[in-house]
């Protein structure tokens, strides 16, 4: 199986997320992927997919995933996006309690990260905290 086949779900996610300037090169046993995605939500989704397919410390892929919003536009209206890496024993309610002071706000995190089942988060998963 080629690395492009192995990481096909990652490539599909990039393309379906509105990825631009996509470059995919396989050389010397490493898949090199570069792309620009629209927002932090897509960027984190791509990284989570890379970890899902290749494991936490994949050595057969190098990825440079950027997002349009990484370059400030001078409007000052958008605040810096916070992220949180899920730890063993975490739940979205626990994270919401830590971040917002109210465990019932867990759906804000779920919605921002496209999580349809709030009970299915994994250690190492990176979440956007809106």
pLDDT in tens, 8-34: 999 999 999 888 888 899 988 999 998
| Alpha-carbon distances of 57 from 60, 70, 87, 123, 129, rounded to whole Å | 9, 25, 16, 13, 24
Statement to judge: residues 64 and 92 lie in one domain: no
Neighbours of 78 (CB within 10 A): 9
Statement to judge: residues 99 and 54 lie in one domain: no
pLDDT over threshold 70, residue 82: yes
Residue 48, domain CATH: 3.30.460.10
- Of residues 54, 40, 41, the one with CA closest to residue 10: 54
Q: According to the model, what pLDDT value does residue 130 have?
A: 82
Statement to judge: residues 23 and 64 lie in one domain: yes
Domain finish residue from 69, 93, 115: 69
Least confident of 5-14, 44-53, 65-74, 78-87: 65-74
Expressed as residue numbers, the domain containing 121 is 82-129
Main-chain phi, psi angles of 7, to 5 degrees: -95, 20
Statement to judge: residues 87 and 29 lie in one domain: no
Contact indicator for 64, 50 with CB cutoff of 8 Å: no
């Amino acid at each position: 199986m080629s690395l492009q086949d192995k990481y096909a779900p990652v490539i599909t996610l990039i393309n379906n997320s509105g990825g631009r300037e996509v470059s995919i090169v396989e050389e010397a046993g490493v898949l090199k992927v570069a792309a620009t995605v629209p927002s932090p939500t897509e960027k984190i989704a791509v990284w989570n997919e890379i970890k899902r397919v290749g494991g936490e410390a994949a050595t057969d892929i190098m990825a440079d995933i950027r997002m349009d919003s990484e370059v400030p536009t001078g409007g000052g209206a958008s605040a810096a996006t916070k992220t949180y890496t899920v730890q063993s024993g975490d739940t979205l309610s626990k994270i919401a309690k830590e971040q917002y002071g109210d465990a019932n706000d867990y759906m804000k995190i779920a919605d921002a990260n496209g999580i349809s089942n709030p009970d299915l988060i994994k250690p190492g998963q990176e979440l956007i905290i809106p």
